[in-house]
Chain A
Amino acid sequence: MATHSTGTTASPRSPRTSASRSRGTTASPRSSRTSASRSTGTTASLAVAAGGAWLLVVTVLGAGQEVIWRNGLIWALGALAGLSFLMIGVVIAREHPRNQVGPLMVLLGVAWIPQQMLFLPEDPLWALALCGVWAGVACHLFLAFPTGRLGSLPHRVVTGLAYATALVLSAAQALVCLPLPAPLRHIAVTLDASSWQAAVLISGALLVLTVKRWRRASVAQRRAIAPVTGASIVATVAFAGDRVADFFPPNPLQLPAALVMLAAFVAVPLAYLAGLMRSRMDHGRVAELVVHLSRRERPDTLRDELAVTLRDPGLTVGYWTAEQDRYVDADGRPVDLDPGPGRAVTRVDQGEAPLAVLVHDAALLEQPLLVEAACAAAALALENERLTADLRARLRQLAASRRRMLQWGEAERRRIERDLHDGVQQRLLSVAMTLGLAEAAGAGPGRAVPLIGEAKAAVLAALDDLRAVSHGIHPPVLTERGLAGAVKELAAVSPVTVTCDLAPTGPLPQSVETAAYYIVNEALANVTRHAAASKAWVRLARHDGHLLVEVGDDGAGGADPARGSGLAGLADRAEANGGRLTIDSPSGEGTVLRVVLPCA
C-alpha cells in the first residue's frame, strides 16, 4: 500500500511521508496502538523529568521563595509558559520525530530560563545577555507552524531578523550595565533604546505572514490551525505591547501586557497539544474503520466509511480499471482527477499496480499518515470494491454495446421486412396477376405464351430478391462451410489480394462464428474502401478458450475507431460477444485489427 498525494493548494506536506516506507505493508491499527500506548509512558516520564530539571535550574539558579512570593502571579505564569513549551515540546518530539515543532518548543523552553531569572533584585549579567533569545525562537516556531519548517523566503528572512535582533539587543542590554569606553557604550545605549521599535517591526512582520497563511488556508485547514494561530497572534501582539510598555516606565499597562503575553504563550503549546490529541483520535477512527469494514453487511458502503474516518463528507473514491485505463467510481462512472481548488487527490497503489484514488479535502494533506493508515486498513475492501467497480464499468460498457447491437438488429429486421414487402411480395403478386391473365386468355395460346414468360421472369426476379434477403439474415456460406470456408470466400471475392492463415479452430459456437464472419467481412470491406492496400491477410487462431481474429493490410494506416462508424460497429459486435477489439494503425504503416472472442 502506498499513497501519493497531489494537492491543489500549496499546503505543506509533512516531511517524507514516503511511498517506499509503507509500500506493501498493510498497517495493523492494533499493533500501532499498542506501540503508541507503550511509548506514552516513556514520553510522559521524559516530559516530567525535563520539567523537573527545568524547575530545579530556575529555582536553584535564581529564585528564592522570597522572589517567587513577591512576583507571585507573573513568576508563576512565566514558569508555566517555559514549562509547558518544554514538556509539550518533549511530547511532540516523541510523537512526531520528523516534525521540528517539538525540538523548537524544547529550545524555547530552555531559552526561557534567562527570562525567568530577571525577577532577581540584581539581574545576573548572563541572564540579561540571553533574556531575549526566546523571542527569536518563538518567532521561528510561530512561522514554522505546523510542519516545523520555514516555507518561503519571507518566513526565513523574518526569522533570521528575529534571531539577530534578539541576540544583539539582549547583548546591548547587558553591555549597558558594564563600565565601557565611551564610543562602545554609546552604541550599546543606542541599540538598547531602539529595542522596542525592532520588537514592534518584527512582530508586525510576523503578524502579516501569519494572517497571510491564514487567508491562504482552506476552511478545513483553518479549523486545524485556528487554536495555535489565535494564541500565537495574541502572544505576538501582547509581546510587542509589553516591549513598548516596558520602555516607558512607570506605566499602568506594563503588568496587564505582561500577563496577557504570558497567558497567550502558555496557550500556544496547549493548543498544539489539543490538536495532537485530536489527530490521535483521528487515528483511533481508523481502528473503528477496520471494525466497521469487517462487519459491514452491504458491500458498497466503503466510501461512506472512509468519509467518516477521514471526516470528509465530500470524499470521492475512484477505483482503477485496467480495462479502461482510468479510475471509475463504485457505479463505474469515470472519476475527475482534476477536482479544482480545495480538493486534493491521493493515489493508493498496491505494490506497483494502481488500486484506487481518493479525491478529498486538501486539509487532509496535513495528515498524510491518517490517510495512509485509513487506506491501508481499507486495502482489502478497496481491492474488492475495485473489482466490483471494474465489473460494473464493464457491464455498463457491455450494456451500451448490447443496446446498440439490439438497435442494429431491430433496424436490420425492419430492412428485411421492407425488402420482402417491396420485392418478393410485389413480384409474387404480379406473377399471380399475370398467370390470372394467362388463364383468362385460355384458348388463345398466342396471347398466353408471352404472359407466362412474363410471369416466369417475375418469379426469377423474386428468387433473386429472396437470395439477397436471406443472405442478409444469415450468410449461407457460413451454414455450408463454417467460418474457415466463409472467410476463404470473403478472401476470394475481395478486390485486394488476401492471404488466409486459418488454423483449425474446431467447432465454435454459432454466435462466435457469425460475429467473426461479420468482423472479417467489415474489416476487408474497410481495407478495400479506405486502406489503399496492395495486399491483406486474415488470421484465425484459437487458444485458451479464445478465438483470435486478425485482419491486416499494408495500406495507409491511420484508422481511428472514434471516427469511422464501421470500426465502432466492429467494436460493438466484439463487445456484445464478450470480446475486445484492438486496432494498430500507425499512419503510413498499414492497419492490423485484432478481435479476441471468448469461445470456451
Chain B
Amino acid sequence: MRVTICEDSTLFREGLARLLAESGFAVAACVDNADELLAHVGQDPPEVAVLDIRLPPTHTDEGLRAAVTLRERHPEVGVLVLSQYVRVSYAVELLGGRTEGVGYLLKDRVSDLAEFAAAIRRVGSGGSALDPVVVEQLVGRHRQPGDPLGRLTERERAVLRLMAEGRTNMAIAERLAIAERTVEKHCTSIFAKLDLEASAHDHRRVLAVLRYLNA
C-alpha cells in the first residue's frame, strides 16, 4: 500500500517514513507543505495521504483544509489526519457526512505500530479510523430528547462506539472479548433501533456511525 506523507517537522516526518517502511508500506513521497502534497497526490495518487493539521506557512489549519480538498478532489485516496490535539469540530468538518476512506488520529497513536498500521490500512481500503478521544467527545455532546440512541443497551453502545472508531466486527469482538457472531447480533439490533432499513450491510454501518457521531 502506497502512502504519501505531509509533515513539516523533519523529525516526525522521517520517523514516520521509517515506521511505515518498516511495517511494509511503500512511501510514495515525503513533503512538508499542503501545496506540494496536493500537487503530488494529483500527479501520482497513493492509497493513503497522511498529513498533519498544522502546516506552513501559517501553522494554523492548512492541513485540515488540504485534507478536505483532497477528499473532494480525490475520493479514491484515503486521508488520514494526524494532530497533537483532536477537535470535534475538525472531525465533523473532515468527515463531511462520509465515513469512507478517512481517519483522524492523535499523533500519539503512532507509538502502537500494529494498531497504527491497521488504521492506515483501513483508511486505504475505504474504511475509517477515528481516534477514541474524538468519538468520546462527539458522543458526549448534546443530544436532543427522544434521541433513538437512548434506546441502545450499554453493550450495544460499546459496540457502536468501536464501530465509530472504524473497527471491523472481528476487531470489536476481540476488543470486547465476545464472539464475532454476538457482535453481529448486536449490530442487527442497533440498526433496528436506529430505524436503519436492511440494505447493503456496509451502508447501514456507515449510517449508524454517522448517526452516532451526530455528524
Using CB atoms and an 8 Å cutoff, list the residues of chain A in contact with chain B.
456, 459-460, 463-464, 467, 471, 476-477, 479-482, 485, 488-489, 492-498
CA of A498 to CA of B90, assembled, Å: 17
| Chain A positions within 8 Å of B85 at CB level | 467, 471, 476-477
- Whether A479 and B141, one on each chain, are in contact in the complex, defined by CB atoms closer than 8 angstroms, is no
Residue among A463, A477, A479, A494 making CB contact with B108, cutoff 8 Å = A463
Instruction: Check B87–A477 contact: CB distance below 8 A.
Output: yes
Residues of A within 8 A of B60 (CB): 479-482
CB pair B87–A494 under 8 Å, yes or no, is no
Q: Is B84 an interface residue (CB 8 A)?
A: yes
A-contact bits for B56-97, CB 8 A (1 contact / 0 none): 000111001000000000000000000011011110100000
Say yes or no: is B137 at the interface (Cβ < 8 Å to chain A).
Answer: yes
Give the residues in chain B near A476, CB-CB below 8 Å. Answer: 84-85
Which B residues touch A489, using CB under 8 A?
Answer: 87-90
Do the beta carbons of B92 and A492 come within 8 Å of each other? Answer: yes
Can you name the residue of chain B whose Cβ is closest to the Cβ of A481?
Answer: B61
| Residues of A close to B54: CB separation below 8 A | 480
Checking A460, A485, A495 against B140 with a beta-carbon cut-off of 8 angstroms, the contacting residue is A495
CB distance from B8 to the nearest CB of A (A): 14
Given contacts A460-B111, A493-B137, contact A480 B142 (CB under 8 A): no
21 A-B contact pairs sorted by A residue (CB < 8 Å): A459-B111, A460-B111, A463-B84, A463-B108, A467-B84, A467-B85, A471-B85, A479-B59, A480-B54, A480-B60, A481-B61, A481-B89, A485-B89, A492-B87, A492-B88, A492-B89, A492-B141, A493-B140, A495-B141, A496-B142, A498-B142
Query: Separation in Å of the A252 CB from the closest CB of chain B?
Result: 109
Which 8 A-B pairs have CB atoms at the shortest separation, nearest pair first? A489-B89, A492-B88, A497-B142, A492-B89, A480-B61, A480-B60, A488-B89, A476-B85
Closest residue on chain A to residue B63 by CB atoms: A480
C-alpha gap A497/B111 in the complex (Å): 36
B-side interface size class:
20 to 34
Chain B residues within an 8 Å CB radius of A460 = 108, 111
Name the A residues within 8 Å of B84 (CB-CB).
Answer: 463, 467, 476
Residues of B with C-beta under 8 A to A477 = 85, 87, 89
The A-contacting residues of B in range 147-161, CB under 8 angstroms, are none
Question: B115: shortest Cβ distance to chain A, in Å?
Answer: 13
A51 to B92, CA, bound (A): 103
Interface residues of B in 105-147 (CB under 8 A from A): 108, 111, 137, 140-142, 144
Contact A493 B141 (CB under 8 A): yes
Q: Which chain B residues lie closer than 8 Å to A498 at the CB level?
A: 142
Q: Which residues of A sit under 8 angstroms from B208, Cβ to Cβ?
A: none
Q: Is the CB of B53 within 8 A of A480?
A: yes
> Which B residues are CB-close (under 8 A) to A496?
142
Q: Chain B residues near A495 (CB, 8 Å)? A: 140-142
Q: Which residues of A contact B92 (CB under 8 A)?
A: 492
Complex CA distance for A409 and B141, rounded to whole angstroms:
30
Considering the complex, give the chain B residue whose CB is closest to the CB of A475: B85
Q: Which residues from chain A contact B108 at a C-beta distance below 8 Å?
A: 460, 463-464
Minimum distance in angstroms from B116 CB to a CB of chain A: 13
- The answer to whether B141 and A485 have CB atoms under 8 Å apart is no
Contacts of B53 in A (CB 8 A): 480
Return B81 CB to nearest CB of chain A, in Å: 12
Complex Cα gap A481–B94 (Å): 14
CB nearest neighbor in B for A459: B111
Minimum CB distance partner of A498 in chain B: B142
- What residues on A are CB-neighbors of B137 within 8 Å? 493
B residues near A479, Cβ cutoff 8 Å: 59-60
The residues of A that contact B61 with a CB separation of less than 8 Å are 480-481, 485
- In the assembled complex, the Cα of A480 lies from the Cα of B87 at a distance in Å of 11
Distance between Cα atoms of A597 and B64 in the complex (Å): 30
The interface centre, meaning the residue of A456, A477, A498 with most chain B CB atoms within 10 A of its CB, is: A477
Which residue of A has the minimal Cβ distance to B109? A460
Which residue of chain A is the closest to B53 with respect to CB atoms? A480
- Cα A323 to Cα B71 with chains together (Å): 54
Give chain B residues whose Cβ lies under 8 Å from the Cβ of A463: 84, 108
A275–B126 alpha-carbon span in the complex (Å): 105
CB-CB under 8 A from A467, the residues of chain B are 84-85
**Cα–Cα distance between A479 and B64 once the two chains are bound (Å):** 13
A467 to B85, CA, bound (A): 7
Cα of A460 to Cα of B109 in the assembled complex, Å: 9
Tell me which residues across on chain B come within 8 A of A492, comparing CB atoms: 87-89, 92, 141
CB distance from A308 to the nearest CB of B (A): 65
Assembled-state Cα–Cα distance A497/B140 (Å): 12
Residue of A nearest to B60 (CB): A480
Once the chains are docked, how many angstroms separate the CA of A477 from the CA of B53? 11
* Bound Cα distance A489, B85 (Å): 12
Query: How distant is B30 from chain A, measured CB to nearest CB, in Å?
Result: 23
Q: How far is the CA of A511 from the CA of B60 in the complex (A)?
A: 17
Q: How far is the CB of A490 from chain B (nearest CB, A)?
A: 9
Residues in chain B near residue A488, CB distance under 8 A: 89
Distance in angstroms between the alpha carbons of A482 and B88 in the assembled complex: 16
Nearest-neighbour CB distance to chain B for A32, whole angstroms, equals 70
Taken together as a complex, chains A and B put the C-alpha atoms of A467 and B137 apart, in Å, by: 16
Enumerate chain B residues within 8 angstroms of A481, measured Cβ to Cβ: 60-61, 89
Minimum Cβ distance to chain A for residue B126 (Å):
26
- A residues within 8 A CB of B88? 489, 492-493
Asked if A494 and B142 make an inter-chain contact with CB atoms under 8 angstroms apart, the answer reads yes
Cα A495 to Cα B88 in complex, Å, equals 13
User: Shortest CB–CB separation between residue B102 and chain A, in angstroms?
Assistant: 18
Q: How far is it, in angstroms, between the C-alpha of A463 and the C-alpha of B106 when the chains are bound?
A: 11
| Interchain nearest-CB distance for B94 vs A (Å) | 13
How many angstroms between the C-alpha atoms of A67 and B92 in the bound complex?
121
Bound-state Cα–Cα, A464 to B88, Å: 17
A496 to B143, CA, bound (A): 8
Given contacts A481-B60, A488-B89, A489-B87, contact A456 B111 (CB under 8 A): yes
List of A residues within 8 angstroms of B90 by Cβ:
489
User: A489 vs B88: C-alpha distance in the bound complex, in angstroms?
Assistant: 7
**Residue among B89, B108, B137, B140 with the most chain A CB within 10 A?**
B89
* A476 CA to B144 CA, complexed, in Å: 29
Min CB distance A291 to B, Å, is 64
Question: Which A residues lie within 8 Å of B144 (CB)?
Answer: 497
A233 nearest CB across to chain B (Å)? 86
Shortest CB-to-CB span from A546 to chain B, Å, is 25
Other 20 A-B pairs with CB < 8 A, given A471-B85, A485-B89: A459-B111, A477-B85, A477-B87, A477-B89, A479-B59, A480-B60, A481-B89, A488-B89, A489-B89, A492-B89, A492-B92, A493-B88, A493-B137, A493-B140, A493-B141, A494-B141, A495-B140, A495-B142, A497-B144, A498-B142
B39 → chain A, closest Cβ, in Å?
Answer: 23
Which residues of chain B have C-beta atoms less than 8 A from A497's C-beta? 142, 144
| A-chain residues with CB within 8 Å of residue B64 when the two chains form the complex | 480
Chain B residues near A493: list those with CB within 8 A.
88, 137, 140-141
Q: Give A467 to B108 CA distance when docked, in angstroms.
A: 11
Residues of B within 8 A of A459 (CB): 111
CA distance A488 to B89 in the complex (A): 7
List A contacts of B140 (CB < 8 A).
Answer: 493, 495
A458 to chain B, nearest CB (A): 11
A468–B92 CA distance with the chains assembled, in angstroms: 22
Determine which residue in A481, A492, A495, A498 has the highest number of CB atoms from chain B within 10 A of its CB, and name it.
Answer: A492
